[in-house]
Amino acid sequence: MPDPNEQRISKLEQQLAEVLASNESLQKQNERLQKQVELLQAEVEELRRAGKRQATPFARRHWVEHPKRPGRKTGKGRFVQREKPSLKEVNETKRASLPGCPECGGKLRERRQHEQFVIDLPEVQPEITRFVTYSGYCCHCHKRMRSWHPDQISEATGAAGVVVGPRAKALAANLKHRLGVSYGKVSEVLNDTFSLQVSRSGWCRADQKLAGTARPVYEKLIQLIRQCSVVHADETGWRIGTLSAWLWVFTNHESTVYAIRANRSSDVVIDILGEKFKGILGSDGFLAYDEKRLATWLKQKCLSHLLTDLKQMQENKTGRGLHFARQMTILLQQALALKTEKPTLDPFTFAQRAQALETRLDLLIAPQRRFTDRDNACFAKRLRKHRPHLLRFLYVDGLEATNNQAERMLRPAVIIRKTNGCNRSQAGAETHAILSSVLVTCHQHSIPILDYLAQLQRYGKAPPPLVSTISVQTQESALPTAKR
C-alpha cells in the first residue's frame, strides 16, 4: 500500500514544477512587454521632441546607413570650370605692383604675372523717366482727348504723378509670390539695393493691380491645362486671415496653375479642369480625386506614396504579416524598372513583362485572398479600389508613376506658408494664385520674368503671349493607350 506522505510529497513537487514553469513563462512575457514599453516610450519621446523641434520638422526618424552622395548626379550637367571673360568684356583693369620684397626691399627674380577676374554688381541708381502728355477738347466731337505713350503703365498725374516703374513691380512680385520673400523684406531689399523707398502696403497694392492685369493670362493657363494629356494635382493647407483654406496646384512640365479655395472637395478639381477633362490626372490617394463625378476620368495614382506606406508596414510587421508588404514592394519596384527599360525593349517583350506584372498584382490583392493581418487586408482593399490606376504609366509615354511634379511645385507654397503666414484677405489670395501661376510658368519656359511682366503692364489689355509656344499633347492621342 503506497505511503500517503510520499503521495503528498509527489503531488507537491508536481505543483511546484508547474508553478516554476509558469513563473518562468511569466518572466519571459514580462521581459517582452518591458521591451515593447521601452520602444513605445522611445517613439513617444521622439514624437514629442519632433513636435517641439521646429528647426528640423522633416528630419528622418531613423538613421540612413548608406545615404545618397551629395552634389550633382551623373548626367545632370557638365562638370566644367567657370570660363574666363574675354578682354572685351573687362570694364577695368587694376594692377598691384611688386617692385621688390615688401619685407626687406630685396630684388625679386622669376617674376610671374597672375590674373583674377571679379564679377560683381555695379552700383545701381534708379532710372527716372519723365513722360510729357497733352490733352485738349475736340472742336468737332466736344470730347477731351489725351495723348498716351506706349511705355506708360499709368495715367496718374498731379499728386499721384510719381509711380514705380514696371520692372521694379515685376521684381517685387517675383520676390514675393515665387521666391517667398515677405513684403517687409521686399521693401528692405529694393530700398537697400536700388534706393526705392516704397512701403509694404505700396508693394501690396502694386501686386493687386498687376494681378488684375495678368488675369487674362491666368485664365488662358486654365484653358491650356484643361487641354493637356497629363495633369498632376496636389493640395496643402492654407489660411485666408484666420479662416482655413487650401492651396491647390495643377501642373505638368509645360504649365502650372495655382488656386486657393475654402474647401478641399472635388469641386475645385472640376472648376479648374472642367467636367469633361479627357486627359490623365496624376494624384495621391486623397478621396476628392475619387469622387463619383470623376469616376470616368483616367488617373494615375502615385506609387511613391504606396512605397512609403509599404516601407512603414515592413518596419512595424513581423512574421507572416511582413510577406505581403515585401511582395508588393518588389512588384512596384519591378514596374518602375520596366518603365525605365521600355525604350530598349521590343513591343512583344514589353507586353509579356507588363502582363506578368498585371497578373501578379491581381493575385496579390484578389478579393478571395484571406489576410491574417488587418493592416494588410486594409491595404489590399485600398489597392483594389485604385486597381485601374496603378500601372497605367507603363502604357502611356510621358506619364510618370509618381506625383512628384505636383509636390515639387507645391514646395515653394509650403515655404511661403511657413515664412509669410499665407494671405490676409480674399483679394490677397487671388493675387497670389494669379501671379504665382504666371511666374512659375514663365520660369518653366525660361522666359525672362522681369521683361515679360514689364511688357505685360505696358500692353495693358493686350497681354503678350506666354504659352503660345507650349506643345500640348492632344488628349485624344493618350486615350487609346491609356484604356486597357
Report pLDDT digits (tens) over 136-172.
Answer: 998 888 888 888 888 888 888 888 888 888 999 999 9
In angstroms, the CA 205 to CA 244 distance is 24
How do residues 325-372 score in pLDDT, each as one tens digit? 999 999 999 999 999 999 999 999 999 999 999 999 999 999 998 888
- Is this model's pTM higher than 0.85 or not? no
Domain ranges of the chain: 132-299+422-484, 303-394
> What's residue 459's pLDDT?
61
pLDDT tens profile 208-234: 999 999 999 999 999 999 999 999 999
- Distance of alpha carbon 420 from alpha carbon 65, whole angstroms: 36
- Average pLDDT of the chain to the nearest whole number: 86
Residue with the three cell numbers 516703374:
165
- Evaluated on CA atoms 205, 210, 213, 218, the torsion sign reads negative
Which residues are within 8 A (CB) of 217 and not within 5 positions of it... i.e. 6 or more apart? 438, 456, 463, 466
53, pLDDT greater than 70: no
Q: Residue 214 in contact with residue 433, Cβ under 8 Å?
A: no
